[in-house]
Amino acid sequence: MNPIRALLLTMAGSPGWKKVLTGWGVTHRVVARFVPGESLDEALAAVRDLNATGMSATLNPLGENVTSVADATEGTEAYIEILERIAAEHLDCNVSVKLTVMGLDLGEDIALANLCRVLEVAAAHGNFVRIDMEASPYVDRTLNIWHQARVRFPAVGLVVQSYLRRSFDDIERLVPTGAAVRIVKGAYAESEAIAFADKQAVDTEYLRILDRLAEPDAIDRGGKVAVATHDPAMIEHGRRLIDANAMAGWEFQMLYGIGKSLQRNLVETGYDVRVYVSYGTSWYPWFMRRLAERPANLGFFLRHLLPWT
């Protein structure tokens, strides 16, 4: 693994570094580029602006790994509030959820029950929910819960991370189900036994997954695909697949505050674009993983931290 990426991922889980970096005003100013605010109202304002430019959105309230049933219930109710507000304001927006926010560390049964509460509300409003994929110890449990929930709620998707060595096999198992899949590269610290350490290998696997999802049997199953990346090579590959197969249900997904001109260009040339809007007070680990994920983000941070560089 790239040593800078490894350091940033270590910092993401470090209470000491969290205390240092969250105490710097410059950090908050940089984070504001990627996180439109700490409140749902601020996030919804960002969604309205995106919708006005022809882009869809996904709301991602930041947080993970609750340790009590009460906190899991609170996290679940927060997701429900988001869905209710989206419906009330008639926004083109869905929701990304983390199972650890709904109690996965307390038991699969708790997380599944809470997820189903969220999915019931989403179904009532005709909306869609995507289960985020977390670090490797959660992958099997996440897939298991997704399979159980989808029996009752078809409008639930999930995420596959191309840096995990297992992911192509997971895709092979998901293709027959017609799953709605968001493809990302992955941003957690993993051992080389579990994940590809070389960027080229991660990119190659990402493209291999996209190619598999564009094969006739996958297309015939109707699975929607989200190409979640800011990498120009990945985007161009996705465009070629969409154009060659005239595929509906594929879209590009990008993070709020990154690649705005690229987002506009894709919309103007007829592609569907969805922007991932994260918000909340628990931004530190998310922000550090974004720095590790994309060197341009780290450069942006350092330029603000060290104005003379």
Q: What ranges do the domains of the chain cover? A: 36-282
pLDDT at 108: 98
The CA distances from residue 119 to 85, 92, 93, in Å, are: 15, 17, 15
Asked whether the beta carbons of 283 and 35 are under 8 A apart, the reply is yes
Q: pLDDT tens, 225-262?
A: 999 999 999 999 999 999 998 888 899 999 998 889 99
**What values do phi and psi take at 277, rounded to 5?**
-105, 110
Q: Tell me, yes or no, if 132 is annotated catalytic.
A: yes
Q: pLDDT tens, 92-131?
A: 999 999 999 999 999 999 999 999 999 999 999 999 999 9
Asked whether the beta carbons of 92 and 309 are under 8 A apart, the reply is no
Asked whether the beta carbons of 95 and 129 are under 8 A apart, the reply is yes
Average pLDDT over residues 262-272: 96
Q: Which residues partner with 278 through β-bridges?
A: 60
| SS3 assignment, position 37 | coil
pLDDT at 259: 85
Report which DSSP code applies to 130: E
Please name the amino acid found at residue 309: T
pLDDT band at 284 (very low <50, low <70, confident <90, very high): low
* pLDDT greater at residue 196 or residue 19: 196
pLDDT band at 306 (very low <50, low <70, confident <90, very high): very low
Q: Tell me, yes or no, if 92 is annotated catalytic.
A: no
Q: How many CA atoms lie within 13 A of 57 on its CB side?
A: 28
pLDDT at 7: 58
Tokens coding 289? 């993983």
Taking the CA atoms of 4, 302, 254 and 43 in sequence, report the sign of the dihedral they define: positive
Per CATH, the number for 36-282 is 3.20.20.220
The β-bridge relationship of strands 93-97 and 273-279 is: unpaired
pLDDT at 87: 98
Q: Where are the beta strands (DSSP E) in the chain?
A: 56-61, 93-97, 129-131, 156-161, 181-184, 225-228, 250-255, 273-279
The count of residues in the chain is: 309
In 3D space, the residue among 124, 63, 52 whose CA is nearest the CA of residue 278 turns out to be 63
**Euclidean distance between CA atoms 253 and 255, whole angstroms:** 7
**Residue 217 zone, left/alpha/beta (φ > 0; ψ -120 to 50; rest):** alpha
User: Which residue among the candidates 5, 105, 130, 132 is catalytic per the annotation?
Assistant: 132
Average predicted confidence (pLDDT) for the chain: 87
Tokens coding 200? 């080229």
Asked whether the beta carbons of 300 and 291 are under 8 A apart, the reply is no
pTM of structure: 0.84
pLDDT at 33: 72
List all residues 6 or more positions away from 27 whose beta carbon is below 8 Å from its beta carbon.
21, 301
Kindly report the number of other CB atoms within 10 A of residue 115's CB atom: 25
**Euclidean distance between CA atoms 309 and 307, whole angstroms:** 6
Kindly report the number of other CB atoms within 10 A of residue 174's CB atom: 23
User: Which residue among the candidates 182, 274, 289, 294 is catalytic per the annotation?
Assistant: 182
The CA distances from residue 114 to 102, 153, 208, in Å, are: 6, 13, 34
Taking the CA atoms of 36, 281, 60 and 87 in sequence, report the sign of the dihedral they define: negative
